[in-house]
Amino acid sequence: MEHYDQARYGPAGADTNEQLLSEKDQTSVDVDSPLPDDLTRDEVELPSLEEPELARHYVRLSQQNYGVDSGPYPLGSCTMKYNPRFTEDAAALPDAAVHPDRSVDSLQGTLELMADLQDYLGRIGGMDAVTLQPPAGAAGEFTGILLAEAYHEANGEGHRDEVVVPDAAHGTNFASAALGGYDVVEIPSGDDGRVDLDALEAALGENTAALMLTNPNTLGLFERDIETVAELVHDAGGLLYYDGANLNALLGRARPGDMGFDIMHFNVHKTFATPHGGGGPGAGPVGVTEELAEFLPDPHVRRVSRSDTGRASGVQSAPRAAADGEEGYELYTPERSVGKVHGFQGNWPVLVKAFAYIDRLGDDGLADASAKAVLNANYLAEQLDYDIPLGPFHHEFVASASDQDAADVAKRMLDYGVHPPTTKWPELVDEALMTEPTEVETKSGLDDLADAFNAVAGEDDETLASAPNRTTARRIDQTAAARNPRLSWHDLD
Amino acid sequence: MSGSPYAAPSEADTEAMLDAVGVDDVDELFDIPESVRFDGEFGIDAKSEQAALRETKRRLSKNDDLTEFLGRGHYEHYVPSLVDSVSQRSEFITSYTQYQPEVTQGFLQVLFEYQSLLVELTGLGVANCSMYDEATALAEAALLAKRVRAADGDRVLVPEYVRENYVSVLENYTGGSDVTVERYGTDDGNVDTDTLAEVMGDDVVMVYAENPTTLGTVEENLDAVGDLADDHDALFCLGSDPVAMSVLQRPVDVGADVVVGDASVLGMPTSYGTGLGVFATREEFLRQVPGRLVGASEDEAGTRAFTLTLQTREQHIRKERATSNICTNQAWVALRAGIHAAWLGADGLVDLANELVELPRDLAADLNEIRGVTAPVHDRHHVREFQARTEQPAPAVASDLESEGFAVHAVDDHTLQVCVTDANAHAADEFVAAVQEVIE
């Protein structure tokens, strides 16, 4: 079977590459400015092309790029679901295009949407308060680390300098804890792919600040012992942090707050279908329990009525002078705020898209998205020839390419016109193929995807190693790229 | 409506799939202990697309319609229509990070071109393909400085005009690395080099300055700052933006080791502070750079091809020893900024930058004509914005201007800050008239 569609990737083979802008034109301009010469540069050299040429340049480049709208994208843990178009219109509303230093009085609409999104996220995660400021999931993790630190310090326990992270966790967990100055204590997973309670108990102690956990974990498995885990962490005086990367599996069926988590981040791309944009922008709102709310980043949005006498805002003006009983919104500094994690308020347009998505789907739609994501993963798994050692899994599973090289399997799948799964991670499974079809595939779409997996499963190593053959670029030499870094067109000649 | 409109399987599909998996109900696939199952409701009603869009619009339309003369780190320029049209192509916007470069050559080339733009403008050898915003880029620069400096040191010096917002981010990011952030003095909106020389020491890992500054002034002492940093083996980090850099002194020529800034001045409308963090540095620090880098290589057919490279610096491989925790970044904003820069070309960028020097000069002169207003406060050249002193309390003036339909910054009791660009210059005369009216 061959599903390759040339239109999907653009023309294949040599000599069809789109030239760099710099190869089309380089214009050197002598800088002539109203400023004195000693405050200016001499010249600037950049491509100068007319709009028709640019339109073709970027359209051709887009044709050499694979997105969710191009076909299946079962990239495990990255959750590539459909991005509803109307949310783009929501984010592009003229009233969304405002400056962050506008007065609170003049931005009641923006603040109302933020307050409502905070409220929605709180209900969905089972959390008491939510900040929208972190500009991505990893920034959310770092915010969580700052919150944990502030909490322990406020309790006279500033000596806690360790964060416990399971070996199968996302790399960002380790890096975010380290950025906060914490020592990372890595614990091995049990044979069943879940947290090993003995290992956890051994790792916890008087220096534990927090445990960072993903649930379902990166293998798609629900941490069944989550209540025991929470008890152990809390008994040791630590906090439980929820990495929200896989919350998209649980909507309406379980909430981190109910499981004993104290802090969590939401990945709005993975859970609420905001587009990933080829690497971002994202947004990583953070939810906390009531006792951590006073530490949240500055400023925070809250609903007020005229009778409220809110603390003075750090921003220009006081709450809108509403009529008696009328609601308004204000920005304020939480009492023991950790300060700022972004220069302004994070990636606002992304938050608008997330709000519109949640508001459209409602309770039923959100629960259905999770149900179909889990059903699709289970159905796809059922069709595969590859072994899946660990389960029962939810929205994603990790198959093993066993005696094939998982990276080669991925390259070969490209030849069948589908995006491959995440490979070689988590390392708990040999030659891992971490697969997450999401709720956006139909049954026949999943059947086609399974055909692609199974066709590759039956092929020999040589075929795999020489793949891909039908893509814009053939296999790219990674070693040469790293050994001889050429990172701009200035390095090319 | 029941269910998600974006969950593809039909009812018939669902039945067949449940059958194939061997369960009667999808609930059986959830391996969640009864004690932590959620059986409550969120209380969010599902809506049609039209109704959901209307609900978002209903909220946002409560914003007042003001003409903004606001800057201080977030700026608006006219964004050509090509930017929206091309960046909204779903092959771009619905794609992920380029983990499979063979099918993502298009985005990789776009990011390579964006990196090249910044290399040209800064004169530095390496630019990454984005940080979140200027504040986080500045913080990452301080961490890089701490890592690369041979001798121990723990002080980062920033000028007193830097926004408190940015300093707070910087302090949070460096708090885990035993770095302390100190402010140093300025003189008439520029670095006070004498004061800086006094506070410099061998325990300083990085000195930061801006051009243009947060106050809108063009910095005239960059060479001196570069030399002072050099004398003490500290890194010189310069904050700027791609439009200003097209005419101002080239960062590499004044000794900048790192350039940070916000490139969302290109390609983005005002967006409540959404940024595009610039991060460029010298080639010798390449392996300490945070974030993603796109490099050129060859494919098996010997054709040039692009790929994410030097990934062993990054969190997904190096974990707690990574150069940064950043994963998702601002790639799509970089795409938009790159299109905008290409649309302007070298001439267009220089023309725009020159316009941004003339507009605040002219507007300040007009405001200075008003009795009770002195503008600009600083006897310097400006880019985009300037400060104005008001005899009347500035917050009251700003508030009155808001009633007239204009937004400006009140930065202290008697100082306004006013930003004028190609995007709001058409309203400058009305703005001056409004200032006159509220003051006189």
CB atoms within 10 A of CB A322: 15
* Domain shared by A339 and A367, yes or no: no
Query: Are B204 and B353 contained in the same domain?
Result: no
The CA distances from residue B339 to A78, A358, B269, in Å, are 27, 31, 14
Do residues B351 and B424 both lie within one domain? yes
Distances, alpha carbon B372 to alpha carbons A117, A360, B365, B392, B439, in Å: 44, 52, 13, 7, 7
Same domain, B203 and B304: yes
- For residue A317, pLDDT over 70 is answered with no
Q: pTM of this prediction? A: 0.97
Q: Is there a domain that residue B6 lies in?
A: no
Share the mean pLDDT of chain A. 93
Q: Has residue A490 been placed in a domain? A: no
Residues A216 and A340 in one domain: yes
Give the C-alpha separation, A104 to A108, whole Å: 6
Closest A-chain CA to B352: A33
Distance CA A146, CA A44 (A): 42
Q: Which chain B residues have a beta carbon less than 8 Å from that of A492?
A: 296
The single-letter DSSP state of residue B131 is B
Other Cβ atoms closer than 10 A to A459: 15
B96 with B74, same domain?
A: no
Mapped onto helix, strand or coil, the DSSP state of residue B302 is coil
Q: Does B92 lie in the same domain as B74?
A: no
Tell me which residue of A456, A300, A375 sits closest to B15, measured CA to CA.
A375
Neighbour-count burial of A211, counting CB atoms closer than 10 A to its CB (0-12 exposed, 13-18 middle, 19+ buried): buried
Question: B386 and B216 in contact (C-beta within 8 Å)?
Answer: yes
Q: Which residues on chain B are in Cβ contact (under 8 Å) with A258? A: 36, 38
A47 touches chain B (CB under 8 A): yes
Amino acid at B135: A
Report the pLDDT value the prediction gives residue A324, as an integer from 0 to 100: 55
Q: d(Cα A346, Cα A333) in Å, to the nearest integer?
A: 16
Q: Nearest-CA neighbor of A33 among B78, B383, B213?
A: B383
The answer to the question of residue A486 being in a domain is: no
- A435 domain residue, yes or no: yes
First to last CA, chain B: 59
Pairing of strands B155-159, B204-210: parallel
In a domain, B5, yes or no: no
Residue among A18, A175, A258 whose CB faces B320 most closely: A175
- What digits encode the pLDDT tens for the residues A358-393? 999 999 999 999 999 999 999 999 999 999 999 999
Q: Are residues B87 and B158 in the same domain?
A: yes
Q: What per-residue confidence (pLDDT) applies to A4?
A: 42
Residue B334 and residue B265 in one domain: yes
Residues B240 and B148 in one domain: yes
- Looking at the fold, whether B73 and B91 belong to one and the same domain comes out as no
* Beta-carbon separation of B95 and A378 below 8 A: no
Scan for tokens 């733009």, then name that residue: B117
Closest CB from A365, A378, A383 relative to B46:
A365
Residue type, B243: V
Give the lowest-confidence range in A133-137, B130-134, B152-156, B227-231: B152-156
- A31/B350 touch (CB, cutoff 8 Å), yes or no: yes
Nearest residue to B120 (alpha-carbon basis) of A34, A36, A43 = A43
> pLDDT tens for residues B394-437?
999 999 999 999 999 999 999 999 999 999 999 999 999 999 99
Interatomic CA distance for residues A426 and B241, integer angstroms:
40
Could you read off the pLDDT of A262-277 as tens digits, one per residue?
Answer: 999 999 999 999 999 9
- Select the residue of A176, A221, A280 nearest B331 (Cβ to Cβ): A280
Other C-beta atoms lying within 10 Å of the C-beta of residue A312: 10
| A180 and A329, same domain (yes or no) | yes
Rounded to an integer, what distance in angstroms lies between the CA atom of residue B318 and that of residue B121? 31
Taking 80 as the threshold, does the pLDDT of residue A318 lie above it? no
CA distance A27 to A43: 10
Minimal-distance CA residue of chain A relative to B12: A443
**Residue A124, Ramachandran bin (φ over 0: left; ψ between -120 and 50: alpha; else beta):** alpha
Residues B375 and B387 in one domain: yes
Q: What is the pLDDT of residue A320?
A: 46
Write out pLDDT tens, residues B294-335. 999 999 999 999 999 999 999 888 999 999 999 999 999 999
- Same domain, yes or no, for A342 and A376? no
Best residue of B34, B59, B303, B351 to probe chain A, by most A CBs closer than 10 Å: B59
Label residue B151 by pLDDT band (50, 70, 90): confident
Is A248 part of a structural domain of the chain?
yes
Instruction: Name the band, by pLDDT with cuts 50, 70 and 90, for residue A9.
Output: very low
Position B203 in a domain: yes
Rounded CA-CA distance A47/B344 in Å is: 9
Q: At how many degrees (to 10) do helices A443-457 and A348-383 cross? A: 60
Q: Are residues B104 and B171 in the same domain?
A: yes
A477 touches chain B (CB under 8 A): yes
- Give the chain B residue whose CA is nearest to the CA of A441: B8
Residues of A in contact with B312 (CB under 8 A): 482
Is this prediction's ipTM beyond 0.95? yes
Residues 6+ apart with CB under 8 A from A103: A315, A316, A317, B398, B399, B402, B407
Check pLDDT > 90 for residue A15: no
- Is position B62 within any domain? no
Same domain, A45 and A136: no
Q: Measured between CA atoms, how close is B231 to chain A, in angstroms?
A: 23
Report the number of distinct structural domains present in chain A.
3
Task: State how far residue A130 is from chain B, nearest Cα, in angstroms.
Answer: 15
Based on the fold, state whether residues A10 and A53 are members of the same structural domain.
Answer: yes
Q: Which of A13, A102, A414 shows the shortest C-beta gap to B301?
A: A13
CA torsion, ordered A43, A47, A49, A53, to nearest 10 deg = -170
Q: Any idea what the CATH number is for the domain that residue B372 is in? A: 3.90.1150.10
B14 touches chain A (CB under 8 A): yes
Nearest residue of chain A to residue B46 (CA atoms): A362
Residues in chain A: 493
Q: Are residues A203 and A265 in the same domain?
A: yes
Which of A 229-268 lie inside 8 A of B, CB atoms? 250, 252-255, 258-259
Interface test with B, best of A46, A106, A215, A357 (most B CBs within 10 A): A46
Could you tell me if residue B412 is inside a domain?
yes
Residue A325 and residue A386 in one domain? no
Q: Any idea how long chain B is?
A: 440
Same domain, B294 and B193: yes
**Residues A81 and B94 sit within 8 Å (Cβ to Cβ):** no
Domain termination site, one of B288, B322, B338: B338
Is the per-residue pLDDT at A8 higher than 80? no
Instruction: Supply the DSSP symbol for A431.
Output: T
Q: Which domain holds residue A449?
A: 363-480
Question: Residue B44 belongs to what domain range?
Answer: 11-56
Nearest Cβ partner for B105 among A42, A356, A472: A472
pLDDT of residue A325: 61
Give the relative orientation of helices A348-383 and B49-60 as an angle to the nearest 10 degrees: 150
- Same domain, yes or no, for A442 and A300? no
Residues A369 and A334 in one domain: no
User: In Å, how far are B124, B247, B250 from B255, measured between CA atoms?
Assistant: 10, 17, 9
Please indicate, yes or no, if residue A14 is contained in any of the structural domains.
Answer: yes
For A18-55, the pLDDT digits (tens) are: 999 999 999 999 999 999 999 999 999 999 999 999 99
Beta bridge partners of A265: A286
| A44 and A190 share one domain | no
Name the domain count of chain B: 3
Two tokens, residue A326: 């009328």
| A275 plus A155 within the same structural domain | yes
Chain A: nearest CA to B280, how far in angstroms?
Answer: 11
